[in-house]
Structure 1
Amino acid sequence: MSAQFELAQNPSDVISAVKFAPETSTRLLVSSWDNNVYLYDTHAEPGGKLLEKFEHRAPVLDVCFGRDENEAFSCGLDWEVRRIDLSSGDQTILSTHDKPANHVLFSAAHNLLISSSWDSTLHLHDLSTPGDFYTLTLPSKPFSMSISPTKLVVAMASRHVFIYELDVLAKAAVESPAGEVPTWQRRESSMKYMTRAVACMPNDAGYASSSIEGRVAVEWFDPSEESQARKYAFKCHRQAQDGQDVVYPVHIVAFHPVHGTFASGGGDGIVALWDAAAKRRIRQYQRFPSSIATAAFSDDGKYLAVGVSPAIEDGQDDIADGAIKVFIRELTETEAQGKKK
């Protein structure tokens, strides 16, 4: 049996992101609309231990670890991209967007921090020269982004999906070219409705994306006709109620780093595991108390963190005490395995 428990000290408002440290799979960052980033040791004591809380000026929309487990980056409704020294608590503003900054990603191989914003730009920060950054203009507002070992996928409004090569972006962050940074591929989302989340496959082969309309699409980077013919989309996170099919947004997709399977989490409070290659659902977990806001696997694939927060689909205007929760699930060795070849 796999064990699952709830963190004892949860944020007080909607959870925006959960991220495990690259080396230490029990070290977890959680960002929240309560203006804080939380650092936990999930297994230091029963219910985990809150190690530190880092206050921001406004709701925090995303957080990620940096070059080591004592460095983090955050962004949010104050428009700022920040570096947080997790050992001293010092915060440094690296750049300021013209509107709220909604995502931050770090590529260790490229020493590159990427932030996105509702101002339809990316900021590319080469961490060897803090304070310097390159602004990349996008055609529309970015909703989600994800990196593979060599690529960045940005899913935007108007069904735009742009794929960049990280080598090219890292070079732009250093050289700040005057012209446009080349896009490796420009695609249109294969889903009719707004993209909610995107996640790259750990094997660098492609990505999965989800929509507000209960669908997930799986696509491959290889532009050949043969590879593009393999892409598909499927319906999920739907519940039959009174003879009606109630459709929920799929807020998160996250790939397992070892098995290459992926988790989806929806407004129905359900987390499901999928085998992308075999086009089948591996398992579905018992319903969580409210909408799945976010989820992430640890780098070793042993743990799954799930952030649960009431959302519009829960039909609640006010958030009840104790409704915001982070669950840690310890996976068995075979729990997230795909179909045997």
Structure 2
Amino acid sequence: MTNSSKEHVLNTPPADAISSVAFSPSSSLLAIGSWDQYLHVYERSSGDSPFTLKQKIEFEAPILDVQINDSTAFCVGVDCTVRKIDLETGEQTVLSRHDEASNKVAYSTEHGLLLSTSWDGTLHVHQPESNDFIRVRLAAKPFAVSLTRERAVVAMAERKVSIYDLTALKRLVEQTGGTADHQSVLDMQPWQERESSLKFMTRAVACMPDGTGFATSSIEGRVGVEWFDPEAQQNTYAFKCHRQMQKTVDESGEEQDVDIVYPVNALAFHPVYGTFATGGGDGVVALWDAQTKRRVRQYHPLNSSVAAMSFSPDGKSLAIGISPGFEDGKESDDIDASQVKVVVRELADGEAKPKEKK
């Protein structure tokens, strides 16, 4: 690692809004999902840019989320399908179909399970090697999902959060799984059910590397930090972030300060130090210490909304996907492709390390 961090903007970014970024387990590949209907796969290089475009794989509809191994990628999107892509041949296999758009996907290396969620209110649990899967009914419309080695956290509408035991899910797939798309939806009791500590709609969820808890973020500039252990749940807290004070003039002509609140679109925990990054509609990325409740550092604002983030598994890089987030209310406007970028920050030694307690 270097003594000072470096920020790189990757060449040949997607042409439409970025939905997801994901590193491979070896940290050698970086996958980008986007609304331009292409999966962009970048490969780590030794040139001026840390990653160069390796391949573009076209899909039938916009991609909403992606996960990647060193030879396989998994994608979900607006066409309702859950797909496995062989990165060597480009061959695509449909693992299952949801009734509505599939918005999130997560892969458990430890259990060999692929989880996908959909706006149809279901969770699909796949064994990609056998193509078997099951449908599980969720408590509400899902917005985000994240995994530990043993748990799956699903954040949903109505402030609902369900936490599933991955071993139990794997057992259920092995006992009742199949390949038919018309199979029934199963009712399964989660390992834990709880109400989110945040009052407004969840945008992202990320689990702690040590598997003891998770963080969620909302559209209302807040982050909540929670623990799985019932005794540790008393330590749950939430804090405000990604807000800017701006001066405006009211109808009487008097100047006043207004607190502009931005959604926190992205969360990512550092795999080594356990600090976590937040990315907001204000284009700002900040690092936080979940244990001490302190901000570690804040980076300069980027020129567009932070849409997605991912730390590399080796902890050396932070990939940031930025694109217009419509915080200014211009949803009907076409995307300005010049504002769609993939930024990779090569972290300096100890850059993501918590500050020492005084």
TM-score over 0.5 for the pair: yes
**How far apart are 1:315 and its partner, in Å?**
4.6
Q: 1:263-306: CA deviations, max 9, x gaps? A: 00000000000000010000000000110000000001000000
Residue of structure 2 equivalent to 1:257: 271
**Any idea what SS the aligned residue of 2:327 has?**
helix
TM-score, reference length from structure 2? 0.91
User: What is the TM-score when the length of structure 1 is the normalising length?
Assistant: 0.96
Cα distance in 2 for residues equivalent to 1:255 and 1:314 = 28
1:19 aligns with 2:33: no
Q: Contact between 2:287 and 2:296, CA under 8 Å: does it hold in 1?
A: yes
- 1:322: how far off? 1.3
5+ long unaligned stretches in structure 1: none
- The DSSP-based 3-state class of the residue aligned with 1:281 is strand
Query: In the comparison of the two structures, how many residue pairs are matched?
Result: 335
Question: Match of 1:167?
Answer: 167
Correspondence for 1:325 = 341
* Aligned-partner SS, 1:322: helix
Determine if contact 1:172/1:181 at 8 Å carries over to the other structure: no
Distance (whole Å) between structure 2 residues aligned to residue 314 and residue 27 of structure 1: 34
- Return the letter of the residue paired with 2:238: A
Checking the alignment, whether the CA contact within 8 Å between 1:163 and 1:184 is kept in structure 2 is yes
CA contact (8 A) 1:267 1:314 kept: no
* 2:77 aligned residue: 76
The residue that corresponds to 1:149 in the other structure is 149
AA aligned to 1:6 is: V
CA contact (8 A) 1:18 1:295 kept: yes
CA apart distance, 1:129: 1.3
* Residue 11 of structure 2: aligned partner: 8
Give 1:44 shift.
4.6
What are the within-5 Å matches in structure 2 for residues 137-286 of structure 1? 137-176=137-176, 180-224=187-231, 227-242=232-247, 243-286=257-300
Specify the code of the residue in structure 2 equivalent to 1:43.
S
Offset at 1:318? 2.5
CA contact (8 A) 2:16 2:36 kept: yes
Give 3-state SS (helix, strand or coil) of 1:110's partner: coil
Contact persistence 1:104–1:114 (CA under 8 A): yes
Partner of 1:123: 124
Retained in 1: the 8 A contact 2:95–2:128?
no
Task: Please state how far the C-alpha of 1:182 moved relative to its aligned partner.
Answer: 2.6
Instruction: Report which of the two structures shows the higher radius of gyration computed on alpha carbons.
Output: 2
Tell me if structure 2 keeps the 8 A contact 1:302–1:331: yes
Q: Answer yes or no: is the 8 Å Cα contact 1:290–1:314 preserved in 2.
A: no
Among all aligned residue pairs of Structure 1 and Structure 2, give the percentage whose two residues are the same amino acid.
51
| Superposition CA RMSD, Å | 1.3
Cα offset, 1:314, TM superposition: 4.2
Q: Verify the 8 A CA contact 1:80 1:97 in the aligned structure 2.
A: yes
In 2: Cα distance, 1:277 partner to 1:248 partner: 24
**What displacement does 1:332 show?**
1.0
**Counterpart of 2:173 in 1: which secondary structure?**
helix
Aligned counterparts, 1:286-297, within 5 A: 286-297=300-311
Q: Which shows bigger deviation, 146-155 or 35-44?
A: 35-44
User: In 1, distance between residues paired with 2:275 and 2:133?
Assistant: 34
Residue 150 (structure 1) shift = 0.7
The Cα shift of 1:27 comes to: 1.2
Structure 2, unpaired ranges of 5+: 178-183, 248-256
Query: How far does residue 42 in structure 1 lie from its aligned partner after superposition?
Result: 3.9
1:103 CA drift (Å)? 0.7
Q: What is the CA-CA distance between 1:170 and the residue it aligns to?
A: 1.1
Q: What is the deviation of 1:26?
A: 3.3
| Counterpart secondary structure, 2:167 | helix
For 2:30, the aligned partner's letter is L
SS of residue in 2 equivalent to 1:174: helix
Q: Partners in 2 of 1:15 and 1:80 — Cα distance?
A: 19
> Hey, which bits of structure 1, 4+ residues long, moved more than 4 A?
none
